[in-house]
Amino acid sequence: MEDVAASLPLTGERTVPGVPKENYWYRRHEAAYAAITDVCRDAVVLEAGCGEGYGADLLASVARSVVALDYDQATITHVRRAYPRVRAIRGNLVQLPLANAGVDVVASLQTIEHLWDQEAFLAECARVLRPGGQLVVTTPNRITFSPGRVPLNPFHTRELSPAELAELLVAAGLRVDWLGGLHHGPRLDELDERHDGSLVRAQIVASIRDEWTPALLADVAAVRRDDFLITDEDVEASIDLVAIAVRR
Protein backbone atom coordinates (compact mmCIF):
# COMPACT_ATOMS: atom_id res chain seq x y z
CA MET A 1 0.00 0.00 0.00
CA GLU A 2 1.11 3.56 -0.64
CA ASP A 3 2.59 5.72 2.12
CA VAL A 4 -0.64 6.95 3.69
CA ALA A 5 0.96 9.73 5.70
CA ALA A 6 2.51 11.14 2.52
CA SER A 7 -0.71 10.76 0.52
CA LEU A 8 -2.94 12.22 3.22
CA PRO A 9 -0.94 14.57 5.48
CA LEU A 10 -1.82 14.49 9.17
CA THR A 11 -3.87 17.57 9.99
CA GLY A 12 -5.67 16.46 13.13
CA GLU A 13 -8.91 16.10 11.18
CA ARG A 14 -8.54 12.47 10.12
CA THR A 15 -6.89 9.37 11.53
CA VAL A 16 -4.70 7.18 9.35
CA PRO A 17 -3.22 3.71 9.90
CA GLY A 18 0.46 2.87 9.99
CA VAL A 19 1.61 5.94 11.96
CA PRO A 20 2.90 5.08 15.46
CA LYS A 21 1.87 8.42 16.98
CA GLU A 22 -1.65 7.96 15.57
CA ASN A 23 -2.06 4.36 16.68
CA TYR A 24 -4.21 5.05 19.75
CA TRP A 25 -6.75 7.01 17.70
CA TYR A 26 -6.64 4.52 14.84
CA ARG A 27 -7.27 1.55 17.16
CA ARG A 28 -10.03 3.47 18.97
CA HIS A 29 -11.81 4.03 15.64
CA GLU A 30 -11.05 0.50 14.44
CA ALA A 31 -12.75 -0.92 17.54
CA ALA A 32 -15.98 0.83 16.57
CA TYR A 33 -15.80 -0.43 12.98
CA ALA A 34 -15.24 -3.97 14.20
CA ALA A 35 -18.25 -3.68 16.51
CA ILE A 36 -20.65 -2.78 13.70
CA THR A 37 -19.67 -5.48 11.21
CA ASP A 38 -22.72 -7.60 12.06
CA VAL A 39 -25.02 -4.64 11.33
CA CYS A 40 -23.41 -4.35 7.88
CA ARG A 41 -23.32 -8.06 7.01
CA ASP A 42 -24.76 -8.71 3.52
CA ALA A 43 -26.03 -5.11 3.42
CA VAL A 44 -25.75 -2.25 0.93
CA VAL A 45 -23.74 0.21 3.00
CA LEU A 46 -22.97 3.91 2.71
CA GLU A 47 -20.13 5.20 4.82
CA ALA A 48 -20.83 8.91 5.15
CA GLY A 49 -17.51 10.61 5.87
CA CYS A 50 -15.10 7.77 5.09
CA GLY A 51 -11.80 9.54 5.79
CA GLU A 52 -8.77 7.43 4.89
CA GLY A 53 -10.95 4.46 3.95
CA TYR A 54 -9.66 1.70 6.23
CA GLY A 55 -13.07 1.44 7.93
CA ALA A 56 -15.00 1.23 4.68
CA ASP A 57 -12.65 -1.53 3.56
CA LEU A 58 -13.20 -3.45 6.80
CA LEU A 59 -16.98 -3.19 6.32
CA ALA A 60 -16.59 -4.32 2.70
CA SER A 61 -15.30 -7.65 4.00
CA VAL A 62 -18.83 -8.48 5.23
CA ALA A 63 -21.20 -6.16 3.30
CA ARG A 64 -22.80 -6.81 -0.07
CA SER A 65 -21.38 -3.49 -1.26
CA VAL A 66 -19.92 -0.32 0.28
CA VAL A 67 -20.03 3.23 -1.02
CA ALA A 68 -17.44 5.42 0.70
CA LEU A 69 -18.25 9.12 0.55
CA ASP A 70 -16.12 12.08 1.53
CA TYR A 71 -16.01 15.75 0.51
CA ASP A 72 -12.22 15.94 0.16
CA GLN A 73 -11.03 15.03 -3.35
CA ALA A 74 -7.54 13.95 -2.23
CA THR A 75 -9.15 11.56 0.21
CA ILE A 76 -11.39 10.03 -2.46
CA THR A 77 -8.44 9.66 -4.84
CA HIS A 78 -6.52 7.84 -2.11
CA VAL A 79 -9.44 5.53 -1.23
CA ARG A 80 -9.91 4.55 -4.88
CA ARG A 81 -6.24 3.57 -5.14
CA ALA A 82 -5.88 1.90 -1.77
CA TYR A 83 -9.20 0.03 -1.40
CA PRO A 84 -10.47 -1.26 -4.75
CA ARG A 85 -13.38 -3.25 -3.30
CA VAL A 86 -14.92 0.03 -2.07
CA ARG A 87 -16.75 2.42 -4.40
CA ALA A 88 -15.44 5.87 -3.43
CA ILE A 89 -17.33 9.01 -4.41
CA ARG A 90 -17.00 12.68 -3.58
CA GLY A 91 -20.06 14.36 -2.15
CA ASN A 92 -21.55 16.77 0.35
CA LEU A 93 -22.80 15.15 3.53
CA VAL A 94 -25.81 17.45 3.73
CA GLN A 95 -26.73 16.70 0.09
CA LEU A 96 -25.97 13.01 -0.30
CA PRO A 97 -25.67 12.04 -4.00
CA LEU A 98 -27.79 8.91 -3.57
CA ALA A 99 -31.38 8.02 -4.37
CA ASN A 100 -34.13 7.84 -1.79
CA ALA A 101 -34.35 4.56 0.14
CA GLY A 102 -31.34 3.12 -1.67
CA VAL A 103 -29.19 1.67 1.11
CA ASP A 104 -29.63 -0.75 4.00
CA VAL A 105 -27.09 0.84 6.36
CA VAL A 106 -25.54 4.26 6.72
CA ALA A 107 -22.37 4.16 8.81
CA SER A 108 -20.97 7.49 10.00
CA LEU A 109 -18.11 7.18 12.44
CA GLN A 110 -16.46 10.20 14.06
CA THR A 111 -17.97 12.56 11.49
CA ILE A 112 -21.05 14.37 12.79
CA GLU A 113 -18.95 16.45 15.21
CA HIS A 114 -17.22 18.04 12.19
CA LEU A 115 -20.45 19.29 10.62
CA TRP A 116 -22.11 22.69 10.93
CA ASP A 117 -25.57 21.41 9.97
CA GLN A 118 -25.96 18.17 11.88
CA GLU A 119 -29.75 18.19 11.51
CA ALA A 120 -29.56 18.33 7.70
CA PHE A 121 -26.99 15.53 7.66
CA LEU A 122 -29.17 13.20 9.72
CA ALA A 123 -32.20 14.05 7.59
CA GLU A 124 -30.20 13.05 4.51
CA CYS A 125 -29.16 9.79 6.19
CA ALA A 126 -32.83 9.04 6.87
CA ARG A 127 -33.74 9.88 3.28
CA VAL A 128 -31.31 7.43 1.67
CA LEU A 129 -32.14 4.58 4.07
CA ARG A 130 -34.80 2.08 3.07
CA PRO A 131 -37.65 1.66 5.60
CA GLY A 132 -36.21 -0.42 8.42
CA GLY A 133 -32.67 0.51 7.41
CA GLN A 134 -30.15 1.33 10.11
CA LEU A 135 -27.95 4.34 10.79
CA VAL A 136 -24.86 3.76 12.91
CA VAL A 137 -23.26 6.88 14.38
CA THR A 138 -20.22 7.25 16.59
CA THR A 139 -18.98 10.56 17.95
CA PRO A 140 -16.94 11.83 20.90
CA ASN A 141 -18.92 12.09 24.12
CA ARG A 142 -18.96 15.82 24.88
CA ILE A 143 -19.30 15.19 28.60
CA THR A 144 -15.89 13.51 28.82
CA PHE A 145 -14.13 14.78 25.69
CA SER A 146 -14.79 18.54 25.94
CA PRO A 147 -16.53 19.07 29.30
CA GLY A 148 -16.38 22.86 28.93
CA ARG A 149 -18.79 22.61 25.94
CA VAL A 150 -16.31 24.33 23.59
CA PRO A 151 -14.70 21.54 21.52
CA LEU A 152 -11.04 21.00 22.30
CA ASN A 153 -10.46 19.79 18.74
CA PRO A 154 -10.43 22.81 16.40
CA PHE A 155 -11.92 20.68 13.60
CA HIS A 156 -15.03 19.93 15.67
CA THR A 157 -17.99 22.31 15.36
CA ARG A 158 -20.30 20.76 17.96
CA GLU A 159 -19.85 17.74 20.17
CA LEU A 160 -22.80 15.88 21.68
CA SER A 161 -23.85 14.30 24.95
CA PRO A 162 -25.81 11.02 24.88
CA ALA A 163 -29.11 12.89 25.31
CA GLU A 164 -28.26 15.44 22.63
CA LEU A 165 -27.37 12.74 20.12
CA ALA A 166 -30.57 10.84 20.81
CA GLU A 167 -32.62 14.03 20.43
CA LEU A 168 -31.08 14.75 17.02
CA LEU A 169 -31.74 11.22 15.79
CA VAL A 170 -35.39 11.31 16.84
CA ALA A 171 -35.85 14.76 15.26
CA ALA A 172 -34.60 13.28 11.97
CA GLY A 173 -37.44 10.75 12.03
CA LEU A 174 -35.35 7.85 13.30
CA ARG A 175 -36.00 5.43 16.14
CA VAL A 176 -33.05 4.97 18.51
CA ASP A 177 -32.66 1.22 18.98
CA TRP A 178 -29.41 1.23 20.93
CA LEU A 179 -27.23 3.89 22.53
CA GLY A 180 -23.98 2.88 24.15
CA GLY A 181 -20.45 4.04 24.56
CA LEU A 182 -16.83 3.12 23.96
CA HIS A 183 -14.63 2.87 27.06
CA HIS A 184 -11.05 2.06 27.93
CA GLY A 185 -10.54 -1.55 28.89
CA PRO A 186 -8.30 -2.72 31.75
CA ARG A 187 -5.00 -2.39 29.87
CA LEU A 188 -5.76 1.20 28.86
CA ASP A 189 -6.81 1.97 32.43
CA GLU A 190 -3.32 0.89 33.44
CA LEU A 191 -1.78 3.15 30.78
CA ASP A 192 -3.90 6.06 32.03
CA GLU A 193 -2.42 5.59 35.49
CA ARG A 194 1.09 5.32 34.03
CA HIS A 195 0.70 8.66 32.26
CA ASP A 196 -0.54 10.86 35.11
CA GLY A 197 -4.16 9.80 34.84
CA SER A 198 -4.77 10.24 31.11
CA LEU A 199 -3.09 8.63 28.12
CA VAL A 200 -5.14 10.92 25.86
CA ARG A 201 -3.99 14.08 27.62
CA ALA A 202 -0.38 12.87 27.52
CA GLN A 203 -0.64 12.46 23.74
CA ILE A 204 -2.23 15.86 23.25
CA VAL A 205 0.49 17.58 25.27
CA ALA A 206 3.22 15.64 23.45
CA SER A 207 1.76 16.63 20.08
CA ILE A 208 1.44 20.31 20.99
CA ARG A 209 5.00 20.46 22.25
CA ASP A 210 6.30 17.97 19.66
CA GLU A 211 8.00 16.16 22.54
CA TRP A 212 7.25 12.44 22.60
CA THR A 213 9.08 10.42 25.23
CA PRO A 214 10.16 6.91 24.18
CA ALA A 215 7.91 5.45 26.89
CA LEU A 216 4.82 7.31 25.67
CA LEU A 217 5.47 6.47 22.03
CA ALA A 218 5.98 2.79 22.88
CA ASP A 219 2.74 2.64 24.88
CA VAL A 220 0.74 4.37 22.14
CA ALA A 221 2.19 2.15 19.41
CA ALA A 222 1.23 -0.97 21.40
CA VAL A 223 -2.50 -0.13 21.71
CA ARG A 224 -4.82 -2.76 20.17
CA ARG A 225 -8.43 -2.47 19.13
CA ASP A 226 -9.47 -5.03 21.75
CA ASP A 227 -8.16 -2.66 24.44
CA PHE A 228 -11.47 -0.78 24.02
CA LEU A 229 -14.89 -1.91 25.25
CA ILE A 230 -18.29 -0.97 23.81
CA THR A 231 -21.25 -1.32 26.16
CA ASP A 232 -24.55 0.32 27.05
CA GLU A 233 -23.48 0.54 30.69
CA ASP A 234 -22.36 3.88 32.16
CA VAL A 235 -22.81 5.66 28.81
CA GLU A 236 -22.39 9.10 30.42
CA ALA A 237 -18.80 8.18 31.29
CA SER A 238 -17.88 6.81 27.86
CA ILE A 239 -15.28 8.47 25.66
CA ASP A 240 -17.18 7.91 22.39
CA LEU A 241 -20.92 7.48 21.85
CA VAL A 242 -22.23 4.66 19.66
CA ALA A 243 -25.84 4.81 18.44
CA ILE A 244 -27.92 2.57 16.20
CA ALA A 245 -31.09 4.18 14.84
CA VAL A 246 -33.73 2.80 12.47
CA ARG A 247 -35.66 4.55 9.73
CA ARG A 248 -39.34 4.20 10.50
Element (H, E) at 228: strand 228-231
Query: What does the angle CA 148 – CA 160 – CA 230 come to, to the nearest 5 degrees?
Result: 110
Question: Does position 4 have pLDDT exceeding 90, yes or no?
Answer: no
Mean pLDDT of 96-123: 97
Instruction: Give the tens place of pLDDT for each residue, 163-179.
Output: 999 999 999 999 999 99
Angle between helix 214-221 and 23-35 (nearest 10): 20
pLDDT class of 151 with cuts at 50, 70, 90: confident
pLDDT of amino acid 96: 98
Residue 149 pLDDT more than 70? no
* 98-110 average pLDDT score: 97
Does residue 246 carry a pLDDT above 70? yes
Instruction: Specify the pLDDT at position 10.
Output: 61
pLDDT of residue 155 exceeding 90: no
